[in-house]
Structure 1
Amino acid sequence: MPTAPAPLTRLAEQLGASLDRPESDLLAPGASWNLSQTLQHCAQTVRYSVTGYPRLKPALFRATAGTLAKHVFLRRGATRHSLDAELDGAPPLDPALPAAEAAARLADAVSLFTAHTGPHRLHPAYGRCTHAQYERLHAMHLAEHLPGLADA
Structure 2
Amino acid sequence: MTESNPQLRALHWTDLPSAVREAEDLLASGYMQMGNWTLGQACFHLRVVQDCAIDGYPWYFALFAPLRPIVRRTLLPRVLAGNSPRGIPTTSIYVPGNDLDDSVEVAAFAESTARLLNHSGPYHPHPGFGRLDREMCEKIYTRHAAHHLRFLCPKT
The TM-score normalised by the length of structure 2 is 0.76
Question: Is the alpha carbon distance of 1:40 and 1:84 closer, same or farther for their aligned partners in structure 2, counting shifts above 3 Å?
Answer: farther
1:99 to 102, 109, 134: 102
Partner of 1:121: 124
8 Å contact 1:15–1:103 — kept in the other structure?
Answer: yes
Is 2:51–2:112's contact at 8 Å kept on the other side of the alignment? yes
Structure 1 stretches of at least 4 aligned residues deviating more than 6 Å after TM superposition: 148-152
**Percent sequence identity over matched residues?**
19
Gaps spanning 5+ residues in structure 2: where? 1-12
Q: What is the CA–CA distance in structure 1 between the aligned matches of 2:133 and 2:145, rounded to whole Å?
A: 18
Q: Which residue of 1 aligns with 2:18?
A: 10
1:78-114 deviation digits (Å, cap 9, x = unpaired): 141345633x362652211111111111111101101
Q: Indicate the residue corresponding to 1:60 in structure 2.
A: 66
Q: Could you tell me which of 17, 23, 36 is aligned with 1:32?
A: 36
Aligned length: 141
SS at match of 1:101: helix
- Is the 8 Å Cα contact of residues 39 and 152 (structure 2) preserved in structure 1? no
Relative to structure 1, is the Cα distance of residues 83 and 141 closer, same or farther in structure 2, using a 3 angstrom cutoff? farther
Distance in 2 between residues matched to 1:8 and 1:61, nearest whole Å = 27
Cα RMSD over matched residues? Answer: 2.7
Unaligned runs of 5+ in 1: none
**TM-score for the superposition, normalised by structure 1:** 0.78
How far the C-alpha of 1:127 sits from its partner, in A, is 1.2
